[in-house]
Amino acid sequence: MSETERIKRQILRALKLRPQTFWELINHQDGHIAAFFEALQSLLAEGTVLYQGHRFRLVREVELHPLADTLCETCGLGVVLRGYWEGIYRRFLEVTQDRPLPTSDYDQGFVRPVDTVRRVAYIYQRGDLEETDIFILGDDDLLSVAMGLTRMPRRVVVVEIDQRLNRFIQEFAQREGLKNLEVYDYNVVEALPDSLKGAFEVFVTDPVETRKGLRLFVGRCLEALRGPGAAGYMGFTHREASLQKWFEFEKFILSAGLVITDILRDFAIYPERENQWEHFYETYEIMRKLELPLPEVDWYKSSFVRFEVVEGPRVPEFEPPRDLRELYFDEESWATPLPSYLKGP
């Protein structure tokens, strides 16, 4: 999907809501004014849109959902789930009631259900959800389920190591009759299957935040992207990643030909109670440093970051870690549980 293609769709779904002036419409799309003008001209030229009485209007039916806005009315910045999106959120809560709980074997932990659906809504706002091919590397948040409920993406492919999650998502897809939601058993240290390379317009991942883990997870995701205009989303914390690590990672992203378009601080919260991961704390590095009680508030948070391919992508060299210890641990992983297979006898 080119940038122009994304802008066109943002325009069309806004017009499906109602005819709009130039100045209303520019607020419903992400392009700069020249690119917006070009997209409009192209829609006028191909006869999809008409300009009359200073308003643009749809001339023929388009297969898009009318714009379902999610901008927070209080502050104008965050995401609020109302109307259509409130319905998706309710259904998401229902269908994920019996989700598999996190296992320390894969450094898991899920964000609040509201944050998962808010992430999907933000991806939607940007024009990256509807009629796109989406690649998800690691899905303990069950983002694919929330996306599946919208029925908006053309295709969603989940690659995930945890077979419990994969079965859960597959059963959901079967129950809902979602033929375009595919799930594969996949360990990120293995090469990505050729059939998945260069096949997607969007990726989403929540990488392990060691230096090697970051490059490995996002490197695989970059391999999955199609070309200019494709977008990537990731969760990235300040809790276990220093600014030095952010700095190195941003250089990696830019060297791949992607621009960083959004960094939303503490967008997602990991709920202590729902994750039921009290026993994880036994092996956390931080618990050896200070006599600490188990958390009485949610404290693990994650920023939501969006990139967009400007050139390439050129996947930079990245080296898979030597072993799982190197994948999961570095000097900043103070709140990562020791997997059972790394514990002593």
- Least distance from C-beta 181 to its own copies, angstroms? 28
- Backbone region of residue 107 per phi and psi (left: phi > 0; alpha: psi in -120 to 50; beta: other values): left
- Report DSSP letters for 185-226, one per residue: E--TTSPPPGGGTT-BSEEEE----SHHHHHHHHHHHHHHB-
- For its own copies, the closer of residues 57 and 164 by Cβ is 57
- Least distance from C-beta 67 to its own copies, angstroms? 15
Q: Token digits for 102?
A: 């996190």
Q: Token digits for 301?
A: 């948070």
- Least distance from C-beta 159 to its own copies, angstroms? 28
Q: Which of 201, 237, 206 is nearest to 222 (CA)?
A: 201
Residue 35 CA to residue 190 CA, distance in Å, equals: 40
Residue 12 CA to residue 29 CA, distance in Å, equals: 10
Give how far Cα 6 sits from Cα of 12, 126, 200, 221, 253, Å. Answer: 10, 8, 14, 20, 21
- Least distance from C-beta 84 to its own copies, angstroms? 17
Q: Token digits for 116?
A: 């998962």
- Least distance from C-beta 251 to its own copies, angstroms? 6
- Least distance from C-beta 4 to its own copies, angstroms? 12
- For its own copies, the closer of residues 40 and 136 by Cβ is 40
**Angle (CA) 161 165 171, round 5°:** 130
- For its own copies, the closer of residues 51 and 84 by Cβ is 51
- Least distance from C-beta 156 to its own copies, angstroms? 24
- Least distance from C-beta 82 to its own copies, angstroms? 11
- For its own copies, the closer of residues 116 and 166 by Cβ is 116
- For its own copies, the closer of residues 22 and 84 by Cβ is 22
The torsion defined by the Cα of 285, 289, 294 and 299, in degrees rounded to 10, comes to -70
- For its own copies, the closer of residues 59 and 269 by Cβ is 269
- For its own copies, the closer of residues 184 and 247 by Cβ is 247
Residue 75 CA to residue 178 CA, distance in Å, equals: 36
- For its own copies, the closer of residues 293 and 344 by Cβ is 293
- Residue 47: what are its φ and ψ, rounded to 5°? 80, 20
Footprint of its own copies on this chain (CB under 8 A)?
3, 21-24, 26-27, 30-35, 37, 40, 51, 54, 72-80, 118, 237-244, 246-247, 250-251, 254, 259-267, 269, 286, 289-293, 295-297, 299, 301, 308, 310-311, 331-332, 334-335
Is residue 114 a contact partner of residue 81, using CB atoms and an 8 Å limit? yes
For the chain, first and last CA: distance in Å?
52
